[in-house]
Amino acid sequence: MIILTIDTDWAPAWATLAVLDRVRALGLKVTVFFSRPNPAPPWPLLEIGAHPDLSRRHVPADGDDPLAMATPEHDQGVLEAEAGILAAYRGALPEAYAVRTHRFYWHSDLSRVMSRAGFLHDSSMILPYQPGLTGFKVGRLTRWPVWGSDQLHLTRRYPLDRLELPGLDRPGLKIYCFHVAYLYLNARSLADFDMIKTRLGEDEKPAVRPGPGVWDFFERLAERAGRETGGLWLKDIPAEFVWRGHNENSGPGI
């Protein structure tokens, strides 16, 4: 079961709108995790999620020893800062009940902080190309692992002109994470655009790369997802794809 998601990653409005206009034309449900509240175009096949960078926080200093354990004050400061960031996203994107942290950031208390902020679904985990993936519950929060991403796809140099991925035809969830920058540019390799070192500018609009590239691959994956399910949001994933323990027969069958 293929589910398509997109992270905006603070891309400028012109690039985000250009990509979402092209996605909308495909007529497929997609979940978009917004790093900023605008633009968030109101079209019926769009599920809006939040994409916060929880590493941007100000907490009490713990001294100069890099091997020292964090103080209780530091830990409390981290939780308070994260709660504040997540509350800000809930206020800016009140329709967002799904969240994915930037760089898949996670720690053991974060599910509780997310639940208190009002989020119901989290996709801040990546288990690349693993078969038989399911979601699982942590309190009120359902966590959905990411199966693949465009950045990992480019890193491993998988083909972009055809659907040739390890385990694509095996059972389990296949949540795929795309990024606005790679989709807009139709990036063909990491050499085309290094998001760690470079950002799309507010005014400069770099040329789109000729294919095959990430956008071409997105279209191929979208065509298959549309053929199999018509597209799904995270909140639409059937209950049988939520792991409920070894004592229940509830494994995925798709």
Structural contact between residues 115 and 46, judged by C-beta atoms closer than 8 angstroms: no
Q: Using a CB cutoff of 8 Å and minimum separation of 24, what contacts does 17-25 make?
A: 17/41, 18/184, 19/180, 19/183, 19/184, 20/46, 22/183, 22/215, 23/222
**Token pair for 124:** 């801040």
220-241, pLDDT tens digit by residue? 999 999 999 989 999 999 999 9
135-165, pLDDT tens digit by residue? 999 999 999 999 999 999 999 999 999 999 9
The pTM for the full model equals: 0.91
pLDDT of residue 251: 43
CA geometry: angle at 44 spanning 27 and 53, to 5°?
100
C-alpha 220 chain-centroid distance: 19
Query: What domains does the chain contain, in order, with CATH numbers?
Result: 2-243 (3.20.20.370)
Residues contacting 196, CB < 8 A, separation 6+: none
pLDDT of residue 66: 74
Q: Is the pLDDT of residue 43 over 90?
A: no
Q: What is the pLDDT confidence band of residue 39, given thresholds at 50, 70 and 90?
A: low
